[in-house]
Structure 1
């Protein structure tokens, strides 16, 4: 019987560190693109909210004088309802960017080509990624509802579901099954590793926030490296990057 794969956290951290610096220019560009998009979205919401507030104040002033502009009222109503599809579109877009980031980190660890456009092009994964994310959320929420620990247990057991889904283009059930296989026999080790990776990523924010440009991708790449070790794609005794 074949032994259950395991992983070496030290090898994953070492690989994450080397890959972060090897790809630092690309990672920095990727972060700037994402921050630019977030800033643009923020400006759009500010413009809409500001427009609604401004037009409402004008219309209310007119109401005080007994002259309400019905066309303006209709336009204000339209702007307010515009927020709903806009918000849903932004949620969908953020999911695709999340898929793209996973794809980029997977390719970095596998020493494959990665491009900025990968952040925006993987709409073909959207439905199963959304479905898996929602199902995971329900499973973990129900687990937390029953004495907290079951939620933590399921969170670790299925932690690689979305990564495996993006990596292998799996459906929802197959991604959960794959994640359960990968975490089998490694639950406590993964639990401890997750805490350490979180602390590493979080620590960067204490260095004027700039440190996060190193610690966040380092933790993300180490996480993906652990996934590839457990998937048998990187042997533990060979888990290093030149």
Structure 2
């Protein structure tokens, strides 16, 4: 049996930074483009819910391609639209389940927020449909819950700190944090 070692947070952050530094201008440019598109589309009611998940999927695809040594282009940001339905349905279903969990007792909602953390990655990396991706994410993270929850807390602190200077730090912070999360996923995923 092939046992996986749970990566430490420092290693995930270093690996995330290293992945980012392979193509910092493209990843930061993709983050800016994603923010602009989501900002403009967000002016139309409910349109953001249809655009954000595939764009986030595209950012994940860019990170995955970099890790595999493949070339990336800014147009890869739109590759997430190949997984449009699973990504959007997963986002809506996760939001609904998390909201119900928060409404009922708070802790189930917090648990699901963390447990569904790999859903988008599993859709774009393993080509899973929305429910199998959600369940696989929940099971994989449940088995490593405390480690992943600590990573999520650290990434949240980084993103909050990066947003302080008028949000400018998010241009680097978002792709680095996504890459760090990907490294954690990669270390645990049976497909990795």
* Residue 158 (structure 2) pairs with residue 200 (structure 1): yes
Match of 1:15 in 2: 15
Deviates more, 1:89-98 or 1:12-21: 89-98
Is the Cα contact below 8 Å between 2:38 and 2:52 reproduced in 1?
Answer: no
Take 1:157 and 1:39, find their aligned partners in 2: how far apart are those partners?
27
Take 1:114 and 1:165, find their aligned partners in 2: how far apart are those partners?
19
The TM-score with structure 1 as length reference comes to 0.69
Q: State which structure, 1 or 2, has the greater radius of gyration over its C-alpha atoms.
A: 1
Alpha-carbon shift at residue 101 of structure 1 (Å):
1.5
* Aligned-partner SS, 1:111: coil
Residues 188 and 94 of structure 1, relative CA distance in 2, 3 Å threshold: closer
Alpha-carbon shift at residue 210 of structure 1 (Å):
2.6
The TM-score with structure 2 as length reference comes to 0.85
Take 1:40 and 1:15, find their aligned partners in 2: how far apart are those partners?
32
Match of 1:83 in 2: none
* Residue 87 (structure 2) pairs with residue 129 (structure 1): yes
* Aligned-partner SS, 1:192: helix
Match of 1:170 in 2: 128
Residues 145 and 129 of structure 1, relative CA distance in 2, 3 Å threshold: same
Tell me the alpha carbon deviations over residues 40-67 of structure 1, each in whole angstroms, 9 at most, x when there is no partner: 658xx6xxxxxxxxxxxxxxxxxxxxxx
Is the Cα contact below 8 Å between 2:140 and 2:189 reproduced in 1?
Answer: yes
Contiguous gaps of at least 5 residues in structure 1: 46-85, 235-242
Take 1:41 and 1:145, find their aligned partners in 2: how far apart are those partners?
29
Alpha-carbon shift at residue 105 of structure 1 (Å):
2.1
Q: Count matched residues.
A: 192
Equivalent residue in structure 2 for 1:189, among 147, 154, 162: 147
Q: Tell me which stretches of 4 or more aligned residues in structure 1 moved more than 4 Å.
A: 38-42, 86-91
Take 2:67 and 2:94, find their aligned partners in 1: how far apart are those partners?
25
Take 1:123 and 1:206, find their aligned partners in 2: how far apart are those partners?
31
Residues 38 and 155 of structure 1, relative CA distance in 2, 3 Å threshold: closer
